């Protein structure tokens, strides 16, 4: 991937593994120009936050005279993170977002910083970054501080999945410790790169599950023999919401050929009848998050920001992660409601009073076997997890840093939690898919819609019937994979 081009969510996925990141002459030239401009500004004795001053609430005090000492000063005090290490994929995606922002040439960093991060991404090296400690206000200071220290050979890092002291990890990966001065160090940490990366990955995962539930809802309606008029284009056009119109069109394409059995009630429960309205509202919400993520991926997230052509160093708040905080909280709400829909559909499917007479829990021999009983219990627990954590993080502002950071977005917590929720939602998708696969084994009709039949065939090819009982945790994950791959 080329740092001169746009940054896409697909690039963040590619960064899970070693990836070639092209810096190029154009990027090097603009980064170098900003660095030369920084030297001029400092020579003119102009104030530059973090280079001539202390940090945060201590901005009113002079910084260290030697900019190399200022780097130590910057990063040492941020060594306060706690908790488990972040997923290495999230960390590598974070470093890609950070280097892309620095490559815009607006941060005043040394060109070798951009080169070093690009070189890191070409290896299996991953900084060990603690999950806890960021309020997402002056950027993701503490997590990015840990990443910067690892690149300097301090702290810990992973190579080939093995956690090592960072100096040994660098050597094993064939990398040199990264020299930083004060401006370099501050530019490494003073941005919302972790929040942006986690929100982008969560968005992609929630979107995949949203599409999967759309498909599985059609399969459920087909297996039950539901009347498909709840998908009528005229009905949804009258509803007027763009997301519902789009979802309805996609569901009609999936359910094309569905023939009602004539044995169901005129109106299905809301978990089927109102699914285009619910999933449509989720689609509208996801489109909002699409816009936030696109803006964040194209953003210069730093302070100060350098404009050499205007002879200006502008101090402000481009490290403030409020947009992603709101967007990540929206993702959590979408995950909770779409997950709730999937769980309610599974509940309908295992209930003999509502599933058209299929055996309870879809057990092949009720009493002697238990079918989906354990999976449904686990699904209930997963929904409870989603609901419990769905309170927005972005409204939990707490003043800190001697009231310098008197409002904070808490976007990092929101983004990482949204990523957690996306993983739970995927398990709920797998649980519903497994139930639909089992329903046909115990007597549900063959799907009448060709695309629904194709989904069911893919599930049946990958997962044997539950007959007799067996542990199903692997089957839930496999079913989620089947549906996700079917939708690509």
Angle, vertex CA 283, rays to CA 280 and CA 289, nearest 5: 155
Q: Enumerate the active-site residues.
A: 49
Query: What value, to the nearest 5°, has the Cα angle with vertex 121 and ends 116 and 122?
Result: 100
State how far the Cα of 288 lies from the Cα of 327, in Å rounded to an integer.
8
C-beta of residue 12 within 8 angstroms of C-beta of residue 201: yes
Q: Residue 485: CB partners within 8 Å, gap ≥ 6?
A: none
Q: In what order do the strands lie in the sheet with 156-159?
A: 126-127, 156-159, 162-165
- Largest interatomic CA distance in the chain: 84
Other C-beta atoms lying within 10 Å of the C-beta of residue 464? 11
Query: What is the chain's length?
Result: 488
β-bridge mates for residue 22, sequence order:
2
């Amino acid at each position: 991937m080329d740092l001169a081009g746009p940054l896409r969510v697909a690039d963040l996925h590619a960064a899970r593994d070693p990836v070639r990141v092209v810096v190029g002459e154009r990027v090097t030239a603009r980064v170098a120009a900003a660095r030369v401009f920084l030297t001029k500004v400092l020579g003119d004795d102009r104030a530059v936050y973090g280079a001539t001053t202390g940090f945060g609430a201590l901005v009113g005090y002079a910084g260290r005279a030697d900019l190399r000492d200022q780097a130590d000063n910057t990063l040492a005090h941020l060594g306060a993170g706690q908790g488990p290490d972040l997923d290495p994929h999230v960390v590598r995606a974070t470093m890609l977002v950070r280097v892309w922002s620095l490559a815009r040439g607006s941060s005043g960093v040394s060109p070798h910083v951009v080169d070093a991060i690009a070189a890191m991404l070409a290896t299996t090296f991953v900084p060990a970054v603690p999950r806890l400690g960021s309020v997402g206000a002056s950027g993701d200071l503490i997590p990015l501080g840990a990443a910067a220290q690892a690149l300097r050979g301090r702290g810990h890092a992973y190579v080939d999945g093995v956690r090592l002291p960072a100096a040994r990890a660098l050597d094993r990966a064939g990398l040199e410790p990264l020299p930083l001065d004060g401006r370099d160090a501050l530019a490494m940490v003073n941005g919302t790169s972790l929040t942006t990366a986690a929100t982008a990955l969560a968005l992609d995962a929630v979107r995949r599950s949203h599409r999967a539930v759309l498909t599985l809802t059609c399969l459920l309606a087909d297996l039950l023999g539901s009347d498909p008029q709840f998908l009528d284009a005229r009905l949804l056009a009258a509803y007027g919401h763009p997301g519902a119109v789009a979802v309805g069109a996609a569901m009609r394409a999936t359910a094309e050929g569905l023939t009602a059995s004539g044995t169901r009630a005129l109106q299905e429960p809301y978990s089927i009848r109102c699914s285009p309205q619910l999933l449509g509202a989720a689609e509208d919400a996801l489109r909002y998050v699409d816009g936030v993520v696109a803006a964040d991926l194209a953003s210069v997230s730093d302070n100060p920001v350098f404009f050499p052509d205007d002879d200006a160093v502008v101090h402000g708040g481009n490290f403030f992660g409020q947009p992603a905080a709101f967007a990540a909280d929206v993702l959590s709400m979408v995950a909770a409601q779409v997950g709730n829909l999937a769980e309610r559909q599974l509940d309908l499917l295992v209930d003999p009073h509502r599933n058209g007479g299929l055996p309870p829990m879809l057990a092949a021999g009720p009493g002697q076997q238990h079918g989906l009983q354990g999976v449904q219990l686990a699904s209930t627990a997963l929904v409870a997890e989603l609901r419990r954590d769905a309170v927005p993080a972005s409204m939990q502002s707490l003043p800190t840093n001697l009231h310098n950071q008197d409002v904070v977005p808490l976007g990092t917590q929101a983004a990482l939690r949204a990523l957690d929720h996306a993983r739970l939602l995927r398990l709920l998708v797998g649980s519903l898919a497994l139930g639909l696969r089992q329903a046909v084994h115990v007597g549900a009709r063959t799907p009448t819609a060709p695309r629904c039949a194709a989904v069911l065939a893919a599930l049946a090819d990958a997962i044997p019937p539950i007959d007799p009982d067996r542990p199903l945790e692997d089957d839930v994950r496999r079913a989620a994979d089947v549906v996700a791959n079917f939708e690509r």
